[in-house]
Amino acid sequence: MSATLPPAGGNVDGVSEAEIQQMLQTMIKQHREAITLYDQRNRPDLAQRERDEIAVIDGFLPRQFEEAEIKQAAAIIAGTGASGIKEMGEVKAALRHRHAGVMDFARAGAIVRRLPG
Q: Read off the pTM.
A: 0.53
Does residue 11 lie within any of the structural domains? no
Count how many domains the chain has: 2
Consecutive sets of 10 residues in the chain, 117 residues long: mean pLDDT of each? 57 76 88 96 96 91 72 66 66 70 68 63
Same structural domain, 104 and 55: no
> 52-67 burial, b for 16+ CB within 10 Å, e for fewer?
ebbeeebeeeeebbee
C-alpha torsion sign, points 101, 110, 38, 48? positive
Same structural domain, 72 and 117: yes
Same structural domain, 40 and 70: no
pLDDT of residue 85: 61
CATH number at residue 101: 1.10.10.410
Same structural domain, 76 and 98: yes
Report how far apart, in Å, the C-alpha atoms of 24 and of each of 27, 29, 33 are.
5, 9, 14
